[in-house]
Amino acid sequence: MFEVTSTLETQRRKNRPIALVVLVLTVLLLTACGGTKVYKNDKTVVYNGSVYNMSNVMQIDSKNTGKLANDESVNLKGADRKQVEAYLKESGPMYVRMAFDFDGKEMLYRASSVDSWSDYSKMKKSFDNAGKQITSLMANKKKMQLKLK
Query: For residue range 66-77, what is the model confidence (pLDDT) as tens digits?
Result: 999 888 999 999
Nearest to 123 by CA among 111, 136, 135: 111
| More confidently predicted of 76 and 11 | 76
Question: What's the gap between Cα 32 and its chain centre?
Answer: 28
- Whether the per-residue pLDDT at 8 is higher than 70: the answer is no
Question: What's the CA gap between 88 and 68, in Å, rounded?
Answer: 8
Backbone torsions φ then ψ of 38, nearest 5 degrees: -110, 130
Least confident of 11-15, 81-85, 93-97, 110-114: 11-15
The pLDDT tens digits for 31-40 are 656 555 665 6
Spatial separation of the C-alpha atoms in residues 62 and 129, rounded to whole Å = 12
Angle of helix 81-91 relative to helix 117-139, nearest 10 degrees? 130
Whether the per-residue pLDDT at 87 is higher than 70: the answer is yes
* Cα–Cα distance, 76 to 84 (Å, whole number): 8
Per-residue pLDDT band for 117 (boundaries 50, 70, 90) equals very high
The mean pLDDT of 64-89, rounded to a whole number, is: 92
